[in-house]
Amino acid sequence: MNMFGLEVPVKNLPVLDQTFMPLSAFVRAFDKSAANGKEIAVAVERNGGCVAVRRFRIHGTPEMQQADRVYVERTVKMLLWATGGFHVMICGDEAMGQYIADTYCKGGAREFDVDFMAGVYEQPFVVESLPLDKCPAERSNPKAVGRHLEGCRIGFDAGGSDRKVSAVIDGVPVYSEEVVWYPKENTDPQYHYDGILAAFKSAAAHMPRVDAIGISSAGVYIDNKAMVASLFVKVPADKKELTKSIYIRACEEMGAPYEVANDGDVSALAGAMSLEDNRVLGMAMGTSEAVGYVDKDGCIPGWLTELAFAPVDLQEEAMVDEWSGDKGCGVKYFSQDSVIKLAPKAGITFEDGLAPAQKLKVVQAEVEAGNERVLDIYSSIGVYLGHQLAYYAEYYDMKHVLLLGRVMSGKGGDIIIAEAQRVLNEEYPDVAAGVILHLPDEKIRRVGQSVAAASLPAIG
């Protein structure tokens, strides 16, 4: 396969997407081709002075300029959505630095990324060119959270369609409830606050006291503040301060220590607790692609890990993400969107007016009915996943990959994991040798999201 003037060997392509260009394969071929080229570095600074750095070589020739630009721009994109950041430094190539600055700016192709990161970190987004010897050192500040099971704790999991809460005493849930709510449709932050507080009080009524509150919620959280969260998508901008502090205020009303974490990180933590091991990447394929990570020391590294926006596919015809305006990103490969995208190629048509979740159920019903052709949807997603896990392994030191979410349920999930493992074995044996793919077993379900959330805060 030829990608931007570079011959890239790819053995496995999705049966329903034969023009798929896996970024993982391109990166490996590029690194080999440019091994004697020009050394540069990309550094991305985030909150607290933390910096993520990638050092590599580019060809540095006019003939390979397009390949060089694609490689560097996709590296910047991955770093931003994996680790987060507001200050990008291109070190060692001023012309490449200018290209990235022209791409990541107001009016540029990656304007969405610029605005998003500036909002998360409340800092202007900047791209800077530096000499290679001025590249900053890598700096991180991982946070040891979770696995605290002593005492009387509340575990709260805020979803887009229902909220779950548990009362947990010494690691054992003594009460749990799920309540349907409509956070994405409400403009008044008081609606959200009242729902959160009602859940806390419901759990508290089943314990003699409340020693700590742990919260799992979709979105980006820094110092327990909701910087960006889809739950509050309809709340007007002039009320953002109320949603930013919403969990802090509710916990303080309860008078207990608290900790708020991204739901993907809490899923990874639940997996680490149940597996009794670390280096866990948790990946949920549902409405979107939600990912979390627990490092080798059992810490949450403080990264964004919003991989729904991370790059996957380099083909020109790749599906465009409606929110970011970029093509070939994770949400279109590892969520219900991927199933819906591939369904027509497997002969599935949908009635007008069906919501995405309803379309997924149509496909799942066809699987249960024995429609063999529909299985190609899941085998194709498995091929996507095998390639992409090899790319994630470049950024995440992972031993376990826990695969969750509605897309992974039933026979389809078994096919996805089998195909992903096959692609890893055949094309990325170095990754396959060190990574174990898991579906949630009974032990993982027993730990659960709410218990993992409840374990987030330390007491005393």
Q: What is the residue-wise DSSP string for 148-180?
A: ---SEEEEEEE-SSEEEEEEEETTEEEEEEEEE
Contact 452, 263 (CB under 8 A): no
Answer yes or no: do 44 and 178 share one domain: no
**289-312 burial, b if ≥16 CB within 10 A, otherwise e?**
bbbbbbbeebbbbbbbbbbbbbbb
Residue 96's domain comprises 34-134
Contact 258, 213 (CB under 8 A): yes
- pTM: predicted TM-score of the whole model, two decimal places: 0.92
In a 3-state reduction of DSSP, which class is residue 376? helix
Answer yes or no: do 164 and 296 share one domain: no
Answer yes or no: do 428 and 348 share one domain: yes
Answer yes or no: do 290 and 373 share one domain: yes
Of residues 235, 426, 409, the one with CA closest to residue 336: 409
Give the per-residue pLDDT at 375: 96
Give, for 40, the enclosing helix (H) or strand (E): strand 38-45
Answer yes or no: do 282 and 331 share one domain: yes
- The low-confidence residues of the chain, meaning pLDDT below 50, are none
Residue 64 belongs to some domain of the structure: yes
Chosen domain end from 103, 134, 165: 134
Residue 457 belongs to some domain of the structure: no
Answer yes or no: do 219 and 283 share one domain: no
Answer yes or no: do 277 and 256 share one domain: no
Chosen domain end from 233, 261, 289: 261
Answer yes or no: do 103 and 171 share one domain: no
Residue 20 belongs to some domain of the structure: no
Q: How far apart are CA 309 and CA 268, in angstroms?
A: 19
Answer yes or no: do 375 and 275 share one domain: yes
pLDDT per residue over 79-120, tens digit each?
Answer: 999 999 999 999 999 999 999 999 999 999 999 999 999 999
Residue 453 belongs to some domain of the structure: no
Give, for 212, the enclosing helix (H) or strand (E): strand 212-217
CATH of residue 185:
3.30.420.40
Residue 381 belongs to some domain of the structure: yes
Query: What are the tokens at 245?
Result: 């502090």
Give, for 41, the enclosing helix (H) or strand (E): strand 38-45
Q: What distances in angstroms separate CA 93 from CA 30, 55, 117, 304, one per listed residue?
A: 17, 12, 24, 27
Residue 6 belongs to some domain of the structure: no
Chosen domain end from 240, 261, 282: 261
Give the per-residue pLDDT at 447: 53
Residue 351 belongs to some domain of the structure: yes
Q: How far apart are CA 266 and CA 259, in angstroms?
A: 11
pLDDT per residue over 32-74, tens digit each?
Answer: 999 999 999 999 999 999 999 999 999 999 999 999 999 999 9
Give the per-residue pLDDT at 435: 98
Answer yes or no: do 156 and 278 share one domain: no
Structural domain count, the chain: 3
Answer yes or no: do 44 and 97 share one domain: yes
Adjacency order of strands within the sheet including 162-169 = 172-180, 162-169, 152-158, 212-217, 258-262
Give the per-residue pLDDT at 443: 58
Residue 98 belongs to some domain of the structure: yes
Answer yes or no: do 249 and 289 share one domain: no
